[in-house]
Amino acid sequence: MVIEHSSQHFIEIEKKLSQFTESLKQIREENEFNEADLNTLKIQLKKLAEELDEPPNIKIEYDSASFIDKISILMSPGKRHSNISNDRKA
């Protein structure tokens, strides 16, 4: 589940990077770009770099207070998969 979530994060970044590359190729082929275009591209590239550097938000919580240990996995804001039981007894 965690690996799948991380993989999806990188797939989304890859799609955005591919779109960015296509935009860059099109601008280069048209040979009509100005400083505003370059600034826009620079901002888009900076955002992509920030997304790539920022790992997906995943937090694992462990609760051993009950008879059967419970592990909760919190992924990104708003997504919570909880009560994954561990068969080990306290």
- Give tens-digit pLDDT for 46-86: 988 888 777 666 666 667 776 777 766 666 643 333 333 33
pTM: 0.53
pLDDT at 23: 87
In sequence order, what are the residues at sequence separation of 6 or more whose Cβ sits closer than 8 angstroms to the Cβ of residue 31? none
* Domain boundaries defined on the chain: 1-56, 57-90
State which amino acid sits at residue 66. Answer: S
CA distance 7 to 21: 21
pLDDT at 31: 84
pLDDT above 90 coverage of the chain, percent: 8
